Amino acid sequence: MERILILDFGGQYNQLIARRVRECKVYCEVHPYTMPVEDIRVFSPIGIIFTGGPSSVYEAGSPQVDPAVFELGIPVLGICYGCQLLAQALGGQVTPAQEDSAREYGKTVTWYDRSSPIFQGLPEKSVSWMSHGDYMACVPAGFRLTAHSEACAHVAIADEARRFYGVQFHPEVSHTEYGTQMIRNFLYEVCGAHGTWSMADYKGTAIRQIRDRVGRGRVLLALSGGVDSSVCAALLAEAIGSQLTCVFVDHGLMRLNEGDEIEAAFARRSMNFVRVNAERRFLSKLSGQSDPECKRKIIGEEFIRVFEEEARKLGAVDYLAQGTIYPDVIESGAGAAAVIKSHHNVGGLPDHVEFKEILEPLKLLFKDEVRQLGRELGLPEALVSRQPFPGPGLAIRIIGEVTKEKADTLRQADFIFRDILTKAGQSQCLSQYFAVLTNTRSVGVMGDGRTYDHTLALRAVTTDDFMTADWAWIPYEVLDQVSVRIVNEVKGINRIVYDITSKPPATVEWE
């Protein structure tokens, strides 16, 4: 299989690079910049991409790459910090920009040398997204300049003989008008890719790998009923059949009636299904906790303990399977990247688990790829296109301490929001939408009396990959219906606000 290796230097857009490569039908993986050269040889990539990062290459202790990488004969594309690293490592010089005009941030008009393979087929001029305060003062021998802006002559460099390319801007973000085409050019024109990556191929490969790894062992799947764990269940069922047992832990933090709906959906399928009602147990563990990372880690550990108990009842279960996907891994911290939030099934796992191994067959897939795999596995569209719901459930949509009273309040409000959006025909246009019970209380008036109740936040976004997202434009009349119904029907809420923040700088979930 054709592979692209993405070496991670801790930049905020690194996951988008992987997403864009996959969109071009080429398989890729993100690995730390410390990946040994021998492991790179084993990985056998047709090309390597250096990501951006927050450091400056001339600083002591800044992330560096083994110089032997440049002797492998593999094409390299350096992006932002990766471009500067490429220049510095090969004999050039990178310095702080001496003038404010040489620092570039945001949308920047850029001129391209279309004779370079990277810019082949592009207009001579378009907009690129800059984010750098350093300057390539001296370009390495063998390199030529292939793009410039008004402020910077050294926007892109190329050594066509060695197939090394660097760009100061970020082609992976949508603000760079022809960014995906640039990445495609690197993959196809420089690396010689043929575009063989597909979900049908992944399905067959994953099933073979699961069978080889599990053998005759038994697997317990942590089934939440969401898209990821449902697709994981279908994949494992096709691979190992009766060796799989699906355990649904109802932690009391599901949406309205969701536990019963999940049980009904999977009880009809030919798989071993177990439901564990553990509301009291989880709420007890969460009592007094308000820090979001603590809540996620508590829920992650308690899930594991429940699964261990169920495994003992079944006897001799070797593997714990989870529907972990790539964004979970990336946001929980990978390589030099910062931890955005510990997902309960990644960063929230305890140090010790009573299973031989953790099985995560989807952990290199993005959300839309998981949905496509579900279709390949024959799952119904209603399940494949289902609204995402985080494993910790309402615990991370209740800001501050979690109580049963707050969970019941949020359940009602969230149901009303989703119900009105569906009836108004808005739900099909949205990628995710939900309510958040904030820990802010405010004065209101109902009837002739004063109230001092909770503020409820509404959140709705549109996205292709859940790594970035735009807040959704919902008609005012629909938002008004939601506000009126919630304030009138849900006790304890007297104010409704709508979140108009995109990701980044926010995340989709509030915690």
Q: For residue 378, what pLDDT band results from cuts at 50, 70 and 90?
A: confident
Mind giving me the DSSP string for 54-75?
SS-TTSTT-----GGGGGS---
pLDDT of residue 36: 96
From 172, 302, 331, 376, the catalytic residue: 172
In 3D space, the residue among 355, 25, 93 whose CA is nearest the CA of residue 220 turns out to be: 355
From 2, 24, 28, 80, the catalytic residue: 80
Residue 407 has pLDDT above 90, yes or no: yes
How large is the average pLDDT for residues 269-283?
A: 89
pLDDT of residue 326: 80
Residue 419 CB partners (closer than 8 Å, separation 6+)? none
How large is the average pLDDT for residues 483-501?
A: 96
pLDDT of residue 463: 87
pLDDT of residue 381: 84
Confirm if 247 and 220 have CB atoms less than 8 A apart.
yes
> Between 443 and 96, whose confidence is greater?
443
pLDDT of residue 280: 95
pLDDT of residue 337: 47
> Between 256 and 269, whose confidence is greater?
256
Q: pLDDT tens digits for 425-461?
A: 999 899 999 999 999 999 998 877 889 999 999 999 9
**Directed axis angle between helix 199-214 and helix 367-376, to 10°?**
80
Q: For residue 419, what pLDDT band results from cuts at 50, 70 and 90?
A: very high
Average pLDDT, the chain: 89
In 3D space, the residue among 327, 422, 330, 317 whose CA is nearest the CA of residue 370 turns out to be: 327
> Between 211 and 10, whose confidence is greater?
211
Highest mean predicted confidence (pLDDT) among 177-186, 192-201, 229-238: 177-186
How large is the average pLDDT for residues 484-492?
A: 95
Confirm if 124 and 112 have CB atoms less than 8 A apart.
yes
Confirm if 373 and 364 have CB atoms less than 8 A apart.
no
- pTM to 2 decimal places: 0.68
Q: Provide φ and ψ at 240, rounded to 5°.
A: -130, 0
Q: pLDDT tens digits for 310-347?
A: 888 988 889 999 998 887 776 655 544 455 444 444 44
**80 flagged as catalytic:** yes
* Residue 189 per-residue DSSP state: I
Confirm if 219 and 318 have CB atoms less than 8 A apart.
yes
**152 flagged as catalytic:** no
Segment 21-26 long-range contacts (CB within 8 Å, at least 24 positions apart): 21/49, 21/183, 21/187, 22/197, 22/366, 22/369, 23/180, 24/180, 24/183, 24/184, 24/187, 24/188, 24/193, 24/195, 25/195, 25/196, 25/197, 25/198, 26/2, 26/187, 26/193, 26/195, 26/196, 26/197
> Between 496 and 14, whose confidence is greater?
496
Q: Which amino acid appears at position 318 of this protein?
A: D
pLDDT of residue 353: 66
According to the 3-state scheme, what is the secondary structure of 214-281?
Answer: HCCCCEEEECCCCHHHHHHHHHHHHHHHHHEEEEEEECCCCCCCHHHHHHHHHHCCCCEEEEEECHHH
From 170, 251, 343, 344, the catalytic residue: 170
Residue 459 host element (H or E): strand 449-462
Mind giving me the DSSP string for 133-184?
-EEEEEPPTT-EEEEEESS-S-SEEEETTTTEEEESB-TTSTTSTTHHHHHH
pLDDT of residue 104: 60
Residue 51 has pLDDT above 70, yes or no: yes
How large is the average pLDDT for residues 24-32?
A: 92
Q: For residue 390, what pLDDT band results from cuts at 50, 70 and 90?
A: confident
Highest mean predicted confidence (pLDDT) among 13-17, 191-195, 468-472: 191-195
pLDDT of residue 343: 47
Give me the residue label for tokens 């049980």.
263
**354 flagged as catalytic:** no
- Cα 312 from Cα 274, distance rounded (Å): 13
Q: pLDDT tens digits for 157-175?
A: 999 999 999 999 999 988 8
How large is the average pLDDT for residues 292-302?
A: 92
